[in-house]
Amino acid sequence: MTERTAEWAERALAEAADRHAPASREEQVLERIERARRRKPKISEERVTLAHGAGGKASRTLIEAVFVDAFANPALQPLDDGATLDLGTGRLVFTTDSYVVSPLFFPGGDIGDLAVNGTVNDLAVCGARPMYLSAGFVLEEGFPIADLRRITASMAAAAAKAGVRVVTGDTKVVQRGKADGCYITTSGIGTLDRPVTLGDTQVRPGDAVIVSGPIGEHGITILIARGELDIEADLTSDTAPLHDAVAALLDAVPVRMMRDATRGGVATVLNEVARGAGVAVTVDERAVPVLPVVSGACELLGLDPLYVACEGRFVAVVDGDHASAAVDALRRHPAGEGAAVIGTVEADPPGRVLLKTAFGGTRIVDLLVGDPLPRIC
Amino acid sequence: MTERTAEWAERALAEAADRHAPASREEQVLERIERARRRKPKISEERVTLAHGAGGKASRTLIEAVFVDAFANPALQPLDDGATLDLGTGRLVFTTDSYVVSPLFFPGGDIGDLAVNGTVNDLAVCGARPMYLSAGFVLEEGFPIADLRRITASMAAAAAKAGVRVVTGDTKVVQRGKADGCYITTSGIGTLDRPVTLGDTQVRPGDAVIVSGPIGEHGITILIARGELDIEADLTSDTAPLHDAVAALLDAVPVRMMRDATRGGVATVLNEVARGAGVAVTVDERAVPVLPVVSGACELLGLDPLYVACEGRFVAVVDGDHASAAVDALRRHPAGEGAAVIGTVEADPPGRVLLKTAFGGTRIVDLLVGDPLPRIC
């Protein structure tokens, strides 16, 4: 998940008294964003904490207060999974992600295929055809060459599966104790061949919220693989390329936005949508696909699966009239065979994600400040 | 310096008995490269060492035996500073570099402007106009936010100076003791607007070798900044964007190849040229611009300035008839005002770099296995 933020939108929406002004919906949203931008976010901590890397509220504050403040430009500003660039000759999407997952090898994958699939997926959910990847390695002195071979082999296999090429790279080595084996940063380029416009601001009341498969498998797999918990489970990471399933969805129905649900899980994506679009998202807990082993582990650990990272699932908001066609289209692909409609978009309360629980109640699903699971990707 | 290798070429050239065959020079080089590729390089170590990250022979073996073997494809194969991509609508250059310099702040710069300038320069020396950058941060828990702000501010200033935009990014945080403050991986995209073809294989006997300014300032600055040496010197890093000087050179004269002289210094670049083109490069030691403080520090430390990293200098090979026009063009730019012709390209001995010393002798300038200065960039 490349970083993005919607905190400005959150603040903007708090003053959404002008919802019924004569300006168009998009003009209103853009104006509110602009207004919020003028009030700079503040970071209260003096030092980086693990929460700053967890994808939740702390991450956003860091991004806004430090990175966006330093690098402000129109291509960065939407803080989507990738930047859309017009090079005069055609539109591209450009994205990057660093991978620091621990352990490096886990059931169903390793840091290598995670790094390829993650960048492929960021391109795909931006509507692009993934084409070229770069790979930057930071290796710790003493890292076994055999492990590096295993990682690069799985990167190569993942790249072949996704139809992309690793075309450029770099390696740095740091002393023992200055890294944790191997960190990888992949960047990706994809072409925008379709005329679709995707993004949180395209979302409107009446739309349907879809998830492409069961959630939380990657996060729980990593947690178990760390061996710190007294749990054994027959579970593998969901790490997978999503470009085919995404293309099938785009071909089938009008899509408003898509985002892969990595750090922070589905709950974080839905909060970004609700805040970015100034809408309410209502999720039906019983409709959210979760494997029994994942829900069981979550119960034991006191985690909500909605916040647990996936590495091969995405959230899509589509025209509500085409919800079942969207699910049908996804289910024809291996990466989407567990797809389900999990909720709807409503007008009020703007900026909120509400969960209709299995017991008939309703609760707010907010952003977390940090994440209970550091170094999940 | 994005990685590249010429070891295959080295081995190929060892059997250059067919130098006078009727096939064209370029065909011969390509054929030899192809033949060498069929014999896979081997890596003898079982674990990563600092030498694997130093840009010398050990780095090359790692790249060939692990990365190229895993990711083999035509765009990666030349192992240039960037990959040239044809997206159907126009040609792009795509490059990446990870930065792990220690210390993070040093006289004349910091890891931030180094990360921007390095990627800008990799695009520039591939003949591209640098346009967009991504930035992936790996931060150590506890890293001061004030330092991060200082780094991003210097990245922003460097980006503005080079006319590029940081359009996408990512941040991961690892626990204390799992990094060294801050590592940055930048990737860059540039457009190839000029019809020039650049590369080691374009180099031919009679060409002139130019360096854009005095060498070794960055490496010696870092070494002194570490405080491990009992040396004080009024020296700053040469970190700088090279795109304007490169463009001026390309406009002025027929250029064969360019490469920024980072890890491994000018000596490593020249060895790559000699091996990649199957030519000899003869360097006149007295013509190589070195500041007195750099040559003094090198003498004290037993280093050869030809191997010391620069971060704002590049080597260019140009048509020998245009050598002084090339230097004149460079000297009109701040980044090239210390430019000088330092050598010539000859036919024999192929694959070798020879230094005519100030004392009238001649010695071979070979590739180093590792690098006396780890974590220089």
Q: What is the pLDDT of residue A355?
A: 97
Domains of chain A, earliest start first: 81-191 (3.30.1330.10), 200-364 (3.90.650.10)
User: How many whole angstroms separate alpha carbon A307 and alpha carbon A300?
Assistant: 15
Share of chain A above pLDDT 90, in %: 68
ipTM over 0.95: no
How many other C-beta atoms lie within 10 A of the C-beta of residue A117?
29
- Please give the average per-residue pLDDT across B280-292, as a whole number: 97
Query: CA-based Rg of chain A, rounded to a whole angstrom?
Result: 20
Residues 145-164 of A with CB under 8 A from B: 145-146, 148-149, 152-153, 155-156, 159
Query: Higher model confidence: residue A294 or residue B368?
Result: A294
Q: Across the interface, do B170 and A96 touch by the CB < 8 Å criterion?
A: yes
**pTM attached to this predicted model:** 0.87
Query: Higher model confidence: residue B377 or residue B80?
Result: B377
User: How many whole angstroms separate alpha carbon B224 and alpha carbon A156?
Assistant: 41
Give per-residue pLDDT as tens, A77-126. Answer: 777 777 878 777 678 999 999 999 999 999 999 999 999 999 999 999 99
- Nearest residue of chain B to residue A84 (CA atoms): B167
Q: Residue B227's pLDDT band (boundaries 50, 70, 90)?
A: confident
Q: What is the pLDDT of residue A26?
A: 57
In sequence order, what are the residues at sequence separation of 6 or more whose Cβ sits closer than 8 angstroms to the Cβ of residue B143? A47, A48, B181, B182
DSSP code string of B330-361:
HHTSGGGTT-EEEEEEESSSTT-EEEE-TTS-
Write down how long chain B is: 377
Q: What is the pLDDT of residue B129?
A: 94
Distances from the Cα of A114 to the Cα of A72, A80, A262, angstroms:
29, 19, 11
User: Which of B54, B85, B169 lies nearest to residue A67, judging by beta carbons?
Assistant: B169
**Chain A interface includes B323 (CB < 8 A):** no
At residue A9, does pLDDT exceed 50?
A: no
In sequence order, what are the residues at sequence separation of 6 or more whose Cβ sits closer than 8 angstroms to the Cβ of residue B32? B9, B12, B13, B15, B16, B278
Q: Testing the interface with A: which of B1, B172, B228, B371 to mutate, by most A Cβ within 10 A? A: B172
Peptide bond into A205 cis (omega under 30): no
**Chain A interface includes B66 (CB < 8 A):** yes
Give per-residue pLDDT as tens, B37-77. Answer: 455 678 788 888 888 877 777 877 887 888 887 787 777 77
How many other C-beta atoms lie within 10 A of the C-beta of residue B363?
11
Give per-residue pLDDT as tens, B65-75. Answer: 888 877 877 77
At residue A1, does pLDDT exceed 50?
A: no
How distant is the Cα of B6 from the closest Cα of chain A, in angstroms? 15
Out of A23-32, A206-215, B179-188, which region has the weakest mean confidence (pLDDT)?
Answer: A23-32
